Chain A
Amino acid sequence: MLQIKDLHVSINGKEILKGIDLEVKAGEVHAIMGPNGSGKSTLAAALAGREMFEVNSGKVTYRGENLLELSPEDRARKGLFLGFQYPVEIPGVSIVNFMKTAINEQRKFKGLEPISASDFLRLMREKKELVGLTTSLTNRSVNEGFSGGEKKKNEIFQMAMLEPALAILDETDSGLDIDALKTVAHGVNQLRRKDNATVIITHYQRLLEYIIPDYVHVLYKGRIVKSSGKELALELEAKGYDWIKGEE
């Protein structure tokens, strides 16, 4: 699904990612953990194609294609989804209108007709239920005035609507209350299939109790310094990052 080889990324000329190697196969869930500022969001943004994150060297193959050559919208249309750590507000644009536009753009890309009104409504209803989103929320403008937790739920809702092949969730769990966390985890698990994959960026072991990862990686100062099975998350929770830093 995704192969990252020796990826170097900088912002404003400052190198943040200093050679990342990572392989994610279909059907897998990977967790990426690491202290603040270690470059987790940078990795996510670079994969999604945000322009200000400059790729200096390295290779990224996504479903057999050179990902780095694709525009951000084409990456999305080919099934790459990023759940933002800080979802942005788009005043006046209703979630309904936003999702309809997004879905139709993806359909157009695949050579399909725009979704019918009734299919769209049905899909909305189904996915809203899955992630526990109320209609009063989906009738509002995208993220405008949403609480932190509501914004995160909205990201998962969009993921559910778009059914991506590869979802990168950047701290989707932070700001969620325990019930919301369970709902979100439930949503992600429901969407798990043999042919898709999820990369979860998180600070907390808690989420990983609900979404069991196949691998846990520790990103530290722009490098993946440790990769292991799900037990690594527990170890990190118990010992903190000093342990990793000490091993350096």
Chain B
Amino acid sequence: MEEKHDHILKEVTGSEYKYGFFSDIDTETIPKGLSEDVVRLISAKKNEPDFMLEFRLKAYRHWLTMKMPQWAHLTIPEINYQDIIFYAAPKQQASLSSLDEVDPELLRTFNKLGIPLEEQKLLTGVAVDAVMDSISVKTTFRESLAELGIVFCSMSDAIREYPELVKKYIGTVVPYTDNYFASLNSAVFSDGSFCYIPRGVRCPMELSTYFRINAANSGQFERTLLVADDDSYVSYLEGCTAPMRDENQLHAAVVEIIALENAEVKYSTVQNWYPGDKNGKGGIFNFVTKRGICKGDNSKISWTQVETGSAITWKYPSCILRGENTTGEFYSVAVTNNYQQADTGTKMIHIGKNSHSTIISKGISAGHGQNSFRSLVKVVKNADKVRNFTQCDSMLMGDKCGAHTFPYIEVENESAVIEHEATTSRIGEDQIFYCNQRGIDTESAVGLIINGYAREVLNKLPMEFAVEAQKLLAISLEGSVG
């Protein structure tokens, strides 16, 4: 366990982007471009039931009527959808009965990423669904979780094996008409993770999905659906990396969470897609729609995100607080260095009486990075006694970067108590000198100070990943001071 930890740390502590390698894996791709035929082809490749194809086609037809949104504080180059490969899958047996059938190069890739897929080598207490390009290559601990009635598998498997569950919930939190990228995802999503925690079950291990983009010219469109039935609990974590390439690659994901009565879902993200080089060349466009609904009374959804990667991040993990006494939380650290741009934040939609939400956002901008925080706290007419607390802090390093905040508040019920705090700070020369004087060099001092600044958020991460996230923060800011 200790050793495993050290290994991951070593992998992360080297400077620069550590995960920029490309694996030579036999990959099946379809021709570039997007059309109704491509949508049908993806569905056919996955042997999907009709309802899924219908869903995709409706989404695709709707997407054709939509335009790329312009409201974000981002400069996004034109994306040519006919130049993207929408399905790229490492070649392997249709269904894997054992790990022996997995391409060894694939195993090596995940080993290199610090995510060994051999169960005995895994961090104890963490089950992993490993997704490479368009498909899930392996889900660990699937059988032992099944003994508790927990379903944890790839989305493709879920659509085939649990069509009723999928049909009941998919698109209910993020409808296919929701927004440009959600519609696109609904049409072409290729895989992702599915998780169902049955009534009264506390999931005994962290569930996690590790996303890896490998193939060139391809986009990754994954879809994750998480259903927590009455009185259940699950903590879920996703991580992601991609090779260094001069071209931008598109990642447009959708995550839907449904929490029923008394259920609690913790969803954590450590986003480390390739951010592009120092001059802003290359990097992932990360356009993601994440939303959860606290459907049952007393349910709780908590989003924690550490966003260090991607050239552009566009993402607002949100909570619809439908039930009474529900709780929504959003804890975020977002770093933009060099030419990275991020427009991120959350929406808390209070529908249920006595629902509470907390928003803690820590933005860090360095280099020419542009970091925007955007939030909406909405309280509908019948939602009595709602409380929200929002704290949005920005830290600036150097004088070429930017921090922007766009907090929106829409309250239709007078009993609501909404608090908002915002600060902007810089790392003081005196703080760095104080550290220097104790023998800590400037790079380490910055890492220390930044992690202190983000501590409230990092503390929310599952233990196993908090240390890794801390290292990641320090590394992504290397060279930004002095």
Contact B452 A90 (CB under 8 A): yes
Contact B438 A102 (CB under 8 A): yes
A217 → chain B closest CB, angstroms: 22
Please name the residue on chain A nearest to B452 by beta carbon: A92
Question: How many residues on chain B are close to A (CB under 8 Å)?
Answer: 23
A12 → chain B closest CB, angstroms: 14
B95 → chain A closest CB, angstroms: 46
Residues of A near B448 (CB, < 8 A) are 90, 93, 97-98, 101
CA distance A105 to B435 in the complex (A): 11
Contact A105 B439 (CB under 8 A): yes
In this assembly, does B101 line the interface, its C-beta being within 8 Å of a C-beta of chain A? no
Contact A101 B437 (CB under 8 A): no
With known contacts A92-B451, A92-B453, A98-B448, A105–B430 Cβ distance under 8 A:
no
CA distance A34 to B442 in the complex (A): 33
Contact A76 B453 (CB under 8 A): no
Residues of A near B433 (CB, < 8 A) are 48, 50-51, 72
In this assembly, does B172 line the interface, its C-beta being within 8 Å of a C-beta of chain A? no
Contact A162 B449 (CB under 8 A): no
Kindly name the residue among A48, A81, A82, A93 whose own CB sees the greatest number of chain B CB atoms within 10 A: A93
Please name the residue on chain B nearest to A82 by beta carbon: B437
Tally inter-chain residue pairs, CB-CB below 8 A.
Answer: 75
A20 → chain B closest CB, angstroms: 20
The secondary-structure label for the interface of chain B is: helix
With known contacts A88-B428, A92-B454, A92-B456, A158–B449 Cβ distance under 8 A:
no
Residues of A near B435 (CB, < 8 A) are 90, 98, 102
Residues of B near A51 (CB, < 8 A) are 429, 433
The contact string, 1 if C-beta is below 8 Å from chain B, for chain A 59-101, is 0000000000001110111000110100111111100011001
CA distance A105 to B439 in the complex (A): 6
CB neighbors of A among B423-464 (8 A): 428-431, 433-442, 444, 448-449, 451-456
In this assembly, does A243 line the interface, its C-beta being within 8 Å of a C-beta of chain B? no
Residues of B near A88 (CB, < 8 A) are 428, 430-431, 434
Please name the residue on chain B nearest to A83 by beta carbon: B437
With known contacts A88-B431, A90-B431, A101-B444, A76–B437 Cβ distance under 8 A:
yes
With known contacts A90-B449, A90-B452, A92-B455, A109–B439 Cβ distance under 8 A:
yes
Pick 8 A–B contacts, CB within 8 A, sort by A: A48-B433, A49-B436, A81-B437, A90-B434, A92-B453, A98-B435, A102-B438, A105-B444
